Amino acid sequence: MKKLAVILLSISLGCSAQQNTTEDLVANEDAFFDYVDKSTEIEVLAEGFKWSEGPVWVREGGFLLFSDAPQNTIFKWKDGEGISVFLEPSGYTGILPYSREPGSNGLIINKDGELVACEHGDRRISRMPLSQGGKVTVADTWQGKRFNSPNDIVQASNGTYYFTDPPYGLPEQENSASREIEAFGVYKIDSNGKVDMVVSNLKRPNGVALSPDEKILYVNQSDSKAPYIMAYKIQQDGSLDEGRIFFDASSLQESGLKGSLDGLKVAQDGTLFSTGPGGVLVITPKGKLLGRIATGQPTANCAWGEDGSVLYMTANNYLMKIQTKTKGTGF
């Protein structure tokens, strides 16, 4: 196993500060360095958040948006400008205290250039223009029952959305009296707004991503007893097959590494970049772990940005980035 020390440099919410954390790029296979150069440094762009999540790159404008669910806020980061508040409240518009994580979580930019958000507190998928105008609810119920707390979302080229609905944003999580749906499902929203539950047997569905040819939907499960990346074949009507275990993170989890399977993104060649125990895992399309980007923090999610070769990472109270040698889907 090869290891490479990486020095982290920190900018705390726009203020320069020295970061004394040193972590490693950990290679299980030499091919790992086909994706991340041995000399690459992780850069910490900002810190001081409660739990950074759901990053998305906005091409028109050249900036990054990401959620902090506990703070009910979407932050904006732009090179040369640093951090600013983009939207508050981001996922809960109620007056009374709600839960530990009431705000938005996963974010994407849809085909129409709108910001689409998974909202914990308001228990919905919303969309809104980036320039002006208010939010529109894309979906908030299935068969007349309110979602639990939508977590992460992806959109296919035909306009179909897939999203996960675990209990993390509910006041008492799975024990909340306000739960209306028994399952913690994976859902499909078609271009006409019809909502279908396409997976019903996962305990903690979390991050979602599509393969480059959009024939497979990957779903991360943040279940300590079943820490799997699941792979589902997408049928012609948009439904999914029964799925298979694509990657088992049990050994990483049992080794005591920080974090769990959470968000994930896919490179143009089909390689997965998934947050998990020990940082960001780099996994081949055949499910082989090549190595990991060890952030030193529980890492929630990641997103491709700039020209598609820079990977932004939301890790605990940090926002980080690293230059890769590949490019993400959509670029």
Q: Of how many residues is the chain composed?
A: 331
Q: Give which of 175, 120, 108, 127 is closest to 146, Cα–Cα.
A: 120
Tell me which amino acid residue 325 is.
Answer: K
pLDDT for 177-202, tens place per residue? 999 999 999 999 999 999 999 999 99
Average pLDDT, rounded, for the chain: 92
CA distances for 45 relative to 9, 48, 78, 151, 234, angstroms:
8, 11, 10, 24, 37
Q: Which two tokens stand for residue 104?
A: 């938005």
CATH number of the domain located at residue range(s) 2-323 in this protein: 2.120.10.30
pLDDT for 228-284, tens place per residue? 999 999 999 999 999 999 999 999 999 999 999 999 999 999 999 999 999 999 999
pLDDT band at 23 (very low <50, low <70, confident <90, very high): low
CA distances for 288 relative to 27, 85, 127, 253, 292, angstroms:
12, 39, 36, 16, 12
pLDDT confidence of residue 10: 33
Contact 317, 51 (CB under 8 A): yes
Contact 107, 54 (CB under 8 A): yes
pLDDT for 12-21, tens place per residue? 343 333 333 3
Q: Give which of 84, 94, 85 is closest to 119, Cα–Cα.
A: 94
Q: How far apart are CA 294 and CA 223, in angstroms?
A: 21
